[in-house]
Amino acid sequence: MAIFHSMNQVTIYTILTSALLIGFGTGRNPLRAAWVFVRNLATRPRYLLLFASLLGILFLNKFELTLEKAMKPQPDFTPYIFSFEGRFVENFQQLFHAEWLTPFLAFFYIVVFQSVLVASLGIYMFRDRSGRQFKATCYAVMINYLVAIPFYLFLPVKEVWAYDPNVHFYMLEAFPAFESMYRGLSGLDNCFPSLHTSISVTMALLAARSGNRRWAWFAGINAAIIIFTIFYMGIHWLTDMLGGLGLAVFSVALAYRLADLSSIRKPLPTVQG
């Protein structure tokens, strides 16, 4: 069953889901949290610089696709991955595929994945007076991308369905125009490490240390669903997932060190929930 027909629809779903998650994580009106977020960025130049740097790194990820096209073709490492893993993803799909499950997982992969990142920034800005969680989140996401991009440029690995004809790309059942509308955000050979794994697990690890139990539970469940989805949809190899897990642990550990080094003397004005 198709649930996505355009990127405008994806954008609307993302905005609404982010608002719901911010309300869930703060226990307050998401508009109030949004106001606190904007106010703190406007009055704290160092926070604005950090947030702008995060946006810059996300833009750099899109530029990577352009740079990749201009580069000399790199060796394809997919056969090595396949020779090591064999039919793991094919067997996974045969075991779990169900028509009713596909749209649910597609919604998490496309919408909830990015909404959790947006909501995490809003929740931590609203609830954490020290600003440590907000800073750690920004740093962790930037580290994830800065480490992953060189792999995408110089160690290309194709998505499983694009290499193994026995694996199906079930995303097309929920988003028929995925290849023409969404593919520009994610290269076909940008597999190792899996950023969907690393970012979702990063958000879960950060949430686990935030002191916000309800948000920690949701972020953890979201990460588990995302990891399940990358195999179910025939997108990532097991090796990609393991690389993503390692990248997440490394990013969070380094992010907290950087957040502590760059601690701001004055706490953020915020609202306690």
- Compute the distance between CA of residue 68 and CA of residue 65 in angstroms, rounded to an integer: 5
Q: Band of the pLDDT at 59, cuts 50, 70, 90?
A: confident
Most confident of 178-182, 243-247, 260-264: 243-247
Average the pLDDT over 26-34 and give the result: 95
Query: In sequence order, which ranges of the chain are alpha helices (DSSP H)?
Result: 7-26, 30-43, 45-70, 78-85, 88-96, 101-107, 113-127, 132-154, 160-163, 171-174, 178-181, 195-208, 213-232, 238-261
Choose the weakest-confidence range: 21-30, 69-78, 262-271: 262-271
CB-count exposure of residue 73 (10 Å: 0-12, 13-18, 19+): exposed
- Look at residues 192, 13, 205, 236 and name the one whose alpha carbon lies nearest to residue 114: 13
The dihedral built from the CA positions of residue 125, 126, 127 and 130, taken in this order, carries a sign that is positive
Percent of the chain, pLDDT > 90? 84
pLDDT at 267: 52
Q: Cα(211)–Cα(214) distance, rounded to whole angstroms?
A: 9
Return the bridge partners of 164, or none: none
Q: Is the peptide bond before 193 cis (omega within 30 degrees of 0)?
A: yes
User: Which token pair is 207?
Assistant: 């949430």
The rounded radius of gyration (Å) of the Cα atoms in the chain is 19
User: Average of pLDDT values for 68-75?
Assistant: 80
Structure tokens belonging to residue 176:
């028929």
Question: What per-residue confidence (pLDDT) applies to 36?
Answer: 95
- pLDDT tens column, 111-161: 999 999 999 999 999 999 889 999 999 999 999 999 999 999 999 999 999
For residue 273, what pLDDT band results from cuts at 50, 70 and 90?
very low
**Residue 269 reports pLDDT greater than 60:** no
pTM for the predicted model, two decimal places: 0.92
Q: Which band of pLDDT confidence, cut at 50, 70 and 90, is reported for residue 263?
A: low
Nearest partner of 136 among 125, 148, 151, 147, judged by Cα: 125
Mean pLDDT of 65-77: 81
pLDDT tens per residue, range 174-216 = 999 999 898 878 888 999 999 999 999 999 999 999 999 999 9
- Round to whole Å and give the CA distance between 240 and 217: 24
Q: What confidence tens digit (pLDDT) does each residue in 85-118 have?
A: 999 999 999 999 999 999 999 999 999 999 999 9
- Of 23-27, 51-55, 65-69, 191-195, the range with the lowest mean pLDDT is 65-69
pLDDT digits (tens, 9 = 90+) for 217-230: 999 999 999 999 99
Distance from C-alpha of 167 to C-alpha of 28, rounded to nearest angstrom: 44
How high does pLDDT run on average in the chain?
93
**How far separated are the first and last CA of the chain, in Å rounded?**
40
pLDDT beyond 60 at 264: no
Q: What is the pLDDT, as a whole number, of residue 265?
A: 47
